A and B are shown apart, each in its own frame.
Chain A
Amino acid sequence: MSAKTTDRAQSIHVALERALHTDGVVAHDGAREVRICAGTACHASGRPAVTAAFHDQLAELGLADEVHVVETGCHGFCEQGPIVVVQPQGLFYSRVRANDVAGIIAASIASDGIYEKRLYRDPASGQPVPYERDIPFYAGQRRLVLALNGKIDPYSIDDYLMEGGYRALAHVLAADDPVAVIDTVESAGLRGRGGAGFPAGKKWRFCRANPGNCKYVICNGDEGDPGAFMDRSVLEGNPHSVIEGMIIAAFAIGAGVAPVHGYVYVRAEYPFAVQRLEAALVQARERGLLGDDILGSGFTFDIVINQGAGAFVCGESTALTASIEGQRGMPRGKHIRTVAHGLYGEPTNLNNVETFANVPWIVSNGVDAYRAMGTETSKGTKIFSLTGKLQNGGLVEVPMGATLREVIFDIGGGMLPGREFKAVQLGGPSGGCLPADLLDSPVDFESLLAAGSMMGSGGMVVVDDATCMVDFAKFFLQFTQDESCGKCVPCRLGTKRMLETLVRITEGEGRPGDIALLEELSQYIIDGSLCALGGSAPNPVLSTLQYFRHEYEAHVNDKCCPAGRCKALITYYIGGDCTGCGLCAKKCPTKAITGEKKQIHVIEEDLCIKCDTCRQVCNFSAVKVRSGVERSDPADEGRQGT
C-alpha cells in the first residue's frame, strides 16, 4: 500500500474519532441509569408520565446528576410496557405506572433492593424474574440488529459512535474498494429482509454494473403488513445503523462510477420513526458522516426522507419509485428491473430497513461470524414481530432456522391460559397460516415457502381456537382488496369476487361449489397479476383451505361457525353460571338483556346486535355463544379479557 493511501486511511479514522463528542454521550455502560423504553407501544401505555415522574423525583432527591434517565428505543417486549430497566444492576420492571416510580427509586436507586410489585413474572412458574438477562423472552434470542435497541438514546449520535458505530463505514471508506464490499456482503449470504429474500450483494452488483447518469439507494421502510413492526422499531431505536448501512451500500454501488442519492421511504403512520430519523440525519450531517466528502474520503452521499401516504402496494419496488416521483403508486411489469431502470429511470437499489441494518454488523464482524448463524440457504438472524393470542408478544430476533415452536413457546411463552394453539400466520397478507403439525418446521425462506406460507417482512401472528379461519382469511382478503391498486384486472376484480364469496360463506349463505370457486379464482389471480400483491393475495385463502378446510365446509354445509366468531351464524345465550348480578344488562347497548336480580338473565335474540360486550364484561363466563345445529359453545371460557 502506497504512503498516500495509508495517509488517506489514517485521516478517515482520525475524522471518525473527531466525530465523537464524548460530552454528548447519554447512555453509559456500567453507570447508574434508568432506561425507559420510548417505543410506540410503551408510549401508548403511558411512557411520558413515567419519564416525567422519574425526572421530577430524582431531582427532588438531588440524584438528577448521578442517575441519568435515558429514553431508549424499543426493548421489544411490548406486551409488558412501559418497560423500565435500572442499571447497572439490570433490574427489569414491567407495566410501570407513574405512581410506581417513587417505589422503584426508593428500592433500587436510593438503596440496593428490588421493588417487587412491578417485576416481570414468568407465566409458567409464576415466579418473579428480576434481571433482564434471565427473562426467557430475551434469553432465547440472538440480538444482532436489535443489540443496541434498549441501550442507547436514538436521539444521540454519540451513543451510537461510543458503541462502535460508523466504524464499519470508516473501514470501508479507508479500504476504498467498492467491489470488495459487494463481495463481502454477497459471500456473507445476506438476503433481502423485505420478503422475497433476494441476495443483497447480487442486487448491489447489478446496480453498480448498470450504466446511468446517477444511481439511487432507497431504504424501504413502507412497512405496510398489518401485524409487522420490526422496521419501525429499528428506525425508532437505532436509526444510525440504517443510515450507516445505506452509506456503505451507496459507496459500494456508486463510488468511482456515478453520483448516488439516497431516499428513505417511511410510513407516515410512524411519527416517532420519522422524527428520530430526521434528527439522526441532521446529526450525521453535522459530524461529517453524511453529505459532501464523508469523513474526508471524497465520497459524497445524502439521504432524503420521503413519507409514504398509506398505500400498501407502495412496498413494491416499482410502485415505491412511482410514489417518490409523485405519481400514483402503481407497479409496472418487472421485465426490466429497478436495478436497471428505477427511480427517474436510473439504476436504483432498493433494500429493506433490516437489510441495511445488517450491513454494518457484517462489515465489522466479518463474513464467517455472520455465516455461522442460520441455515444452509438463509444466513444471519431475522426479526419477527410476534403478536396475537400469546403470553409474550414483542420483537424477537432469532437465528434463521429456529423452529416455530422455539419462537412461539420458548420465547413467546406459549398461549394465553386456557387457550389452545390453532395456527400461526406468517408473512402478512401475502403469507399463509400454518397449523400445529408444522410447529417444528424451521423458519427460513425455503422451508416456509414449501409449507405454503412465506417469510414476508416477519410478522408472526399467533391465533387460538377462538379464531375463525374463514373470517381470518376474509380479513386478509379485505385488506388486499382495499389495497389493490386496480391496474391488473385479475387482482382488481378477482379479489373482489373472492371477497364476496367469503362474505357469503361467513354470513351463512355459502353455496356448494363456493370452495372450488375460491380455488379456481385464486389460481387466475396468481397467474394474471403483475406484482407480488396480486400474486400472493390468494395465499391466506389457499393456506387456510389447505389446513383448515373443515372449517370452510362447516360454514357452507352446516351453516355453523366452529369458532363462534361469524356474527350471522352465532347466537348469544346466558348459561346456568349466571348469578344474576345484572352487569351485562347494565352494559348492553340495546337493552336486550332482562332478568330479575339474582335470577338467571335472558338475552332477547331479536334485540341482540352481537356486540360481544356482555360476554366480555361477565365475571362468571356465563354468557355463551352457540353456532349451528349442534349446541356447542367452543368459544367461551378464557376468551374473557383478551
Chain B
Amino acid sequence: MLGILKAMRTTLGHLPQRKITVQYPEQREQLPERSRGLFRVVVDPATGEPRCKSCTLCETNCPVQVIRVNYQSANALPAVNEARIQRVRTDAQPTPDLTQIAPVIDHYRETGTGLMAVLQHTQEIYGYLPRVALSEIAVETGVSLSQLYGVASFYDQFRLSPVGRFVVTVCHGTACHVAGAPLITDAFAEELGIEVGKTTKDRLFTLQTVSCVGACALAPVVRIGDDETHGRMTPDKARSLVNELRQRAEVDR
C-alpha cells in the first residue's frame, strides 16, 4: 500500500511539469533531412577509457566538416591547431577556381532540373568533386550539402578526391572476368603499388574498376582516361602498359 502511494506521488508530482517527450509516432522531432543521429565516443568496456585517441583523423577527413574534436587540457594534449587542419586539407585537395562552375549553376537555376548534370559537369572541370565546390553548389542552389554529398557518394562515377593523370580503368564485366580481368587488376595493383580505388603518391596513376564498358569482344579491356582503350590484355601487357605511360609522362615533363 505504501509502495503504491509512493509511486502515485512520483506520478502526480510529474503531472504539472512540461513534457519533454513527444508522442511518437504521431508527433516527430524535426531532424535534419539526412540525419544519422549523434556522434558518440565509444568507451572500451574492459578499461573504462574512451577509445578515442584524439588523432583528429575524423576531423580532417570529414567531407562535410561536421566534426570538431575538442581536446581536454586534463589530458595534456595540444589545443586545436586550425592551421594544421587547413594544411592537411589543402594538401589533399588544392583550392579550386570556383568561377568555373558558375555557368553550370546558373543553368541549374534556370531549369531547376538536372542536379546530377551539375555534379557531372563539376567533375568534368576539376576531375573530381572538390569539397569547396560542393559547398558552393549547396549555397548557390539551395540544395542541402548533405543531400549533395548523399548523391555524390551513391554513384560510382563521382569521385571525392583528386585523381592521377592516368586513370586506369579495368573492365570487370562478365566477359572480361571470364577472360581473366582479376589477374589484370592484380598486375596493375602490383606494378603500381596501390589498391583499387587509390592514386599513386606521384599523382600519376589512379586504379579503378568498372562493371562493363560494353566492348566485350575485346575482353579483357582496360581504359586509360576516357578515350584510350586497350583490348585483349594480359598481365604482362598490363605491366608494359604502365611503363609506357610512365615514359609518356616523362617525355611530357
Contacts and interface: CB of A to CB of B under 8 A. Distances in A.
Contacts of A642: 179
Contacts of A612: 180, 183, 235
Interface string B20-44: 0000000000000000000000000
A397 to B, nearest CB: 16
B218 A78 contact: yes
A329 interface: yes
12 contacts: A41-B217, A44-B221, A310-B155, A310-B157, A312-B211, A329-B155, A387-B216, A459-B174, A461-B216, A479-B211, A609-B186, A612-B180
A123 interface: no
Interface of B: 113-117, 119-120, 143, 147, 150-151, 154-158, 172-180, 183, 186-187, 190-191, 210-219, 221, 226, 229-231, 234-236, 239
A354 interface: no
A228 interface: yes
A326 B116 contact: yes
A227 B154 contact: no
A638 interface: no
A611 B183 contact: yes
A612 B229 CA distance: 22
A310 B210 contact: yes
Contacts of B178: 388-389, 461, 463, 467, 472
Nearest to A429: B174
B175 to A, nearest CB: 4
A467 B120 CA distance: 38
A269 interface: yes
A-B residue pairs, 9 tightest by C-beta = A326-B115, A78-B217, A229-B214, A227-B174, A44-B229, A310-B156, A309-B155, A226-B173, A387-B216
A383 B178 CA distance: 22
Contacts of A428: 174
A269 B214 contact: yes
B215 A311 contact: no
A312 B173 CA distance: 12
Nearest to A478: B172
B215 A41 contact: yes
B148 to A, nearest CB: 9
A587 interface: yes
Interface in A280-307: 306-307
A79 interface: yes
A536 B236 CA distance: 37
Interface in A429-486: 459, 461, 463, 467, 472, 475-476, 479, 482-483, 485
A587 B237 CA distance: 11
B155 A311 contact: yes
Interface of A: 40-41, 43-45, 78-79, 81, 223-229, 232, 268-271, 306-312, 323-329, 385, 387-389, 393-394, 425, 428, 459, 461, 463, 467, 472, 475-476, 479, 482-483, 485, 587, 589, 609, 611-613, 616-617, 642
A45 B218 contact: yes
Contacts of A609: 186, 190
B215 A617 contact: no
Nearest to A44: B229
Nearest to A393: B217
B216 to A, nearest CB: 4
A394 B230 CA distance: 18
B211 A224 contact: yes
A40 B231 CA distance: 11
A612 B215 CA distance: 23
B217 A81 contact: yes
B216 A269 contact: no
A270 B214 contact: yes
Given A479-B211, A612-B235, A613-B234, A307 B116 contact: yes
| Residue with the highest number of chain A CB atoms closer than 10 Å, among B154, B175, B235 | B175
B216 A328 contact: no
B206 to A, nearest CB: 15
A81 B186 CA distance: 28
Nearest to B141: A326
Given A268-B157, A616-B234, A223 B217 contact: no
Given A311-B155, A613-B235, 20 more contacts: A40-B213, A41-B215, A41-B231, A78-B216, A79-B217, A226-B174, A226-B176, A269-B213, A308-B155, A309-B155, A309-B157, A329-B154, A389-B178, A425-B174, A459-B174, A461-B174, A461-B175, A476-B174, A609-B186, A616-B235
Contacts of B174: 226-227, 387-388, 425, 428, 459, 461, 475-476
A307 B118 CA distance: 11
Contact of B116 (A228, A309, A587): A309
A617 B183 CA distance: 14
Given A306-B114, A611-B187, A227 B173 contact: yes
A231 B247 CA distance: 38
A615 to B, nearest CB: 10
Given A461-B178, A642-B179, A589 B218 contact: no
B235 A326 contact: no
| Residue with the highest number of chain B CB atoms closer than 10 Å, among A41, A81, A223, A394 | A41
Nearest to A77: B217
B52 to A, nearest CB: 27
| Residue with the highest number of chain B CB atoms closer than 10 Å, among A78, A227, A475, A616 | A227
B155 A475 contact: no
Contacts of A232: 214
A44 B218 contact: yes
A149 to B, nearest CB: 14
B36 to A, nearest CB: 13
A617 B236 contact: yes
B154 A223 contact: no
Nearest to A540: B174
A337 to B, nearest CB: 23
A467 B214 CA distance: 21
A327 B154 CA distance: 9
| Residue with the highest number of chain A CB atoms closer than 10 Å, among B116, B120, B158, B179 | B116
